[in-house]
Amino acid sequence: MLGGINNGMFFGSFAGFFGLGILILFLKWTFPNKHKAREKAERRAIKKSLQELKRK
């Protein structure tokens, strides 16, 4: 290729970025964050109750 552009490779790179974005969104949906606010509050309450039991 003499100074031209390979359209297949050019559009393939866009497809790769698009596919990577979809993969990231899919993984975020299937593996949710473990540090949700409600779960943190529950863990704190459990930890506090365990500390109170240890004191007795």
Model-level pTM greater than 0.75? no
Token representation of residue 38: 């409600």
Residue 2: its pLDDT value, please? 59
Q: pLDDT digit string (tens) for 26-53?
A: 998 888 776 677 788 888 899 999 888 8
Q: pLDDT digit string (tens) for 17-26?
A: 999 999 999 9
Q: pLDDT digit string (tens) for 3-12?
A: 677 888 888 8
Residue 53's alpha-carbon distances to 12, 40, 43, 44, 56, in angstroms, are 61, 20, 15, 14, 5
Token representation of residue 51: 């500390």
Calpha distance 35→42 (Å, rounded) = 11
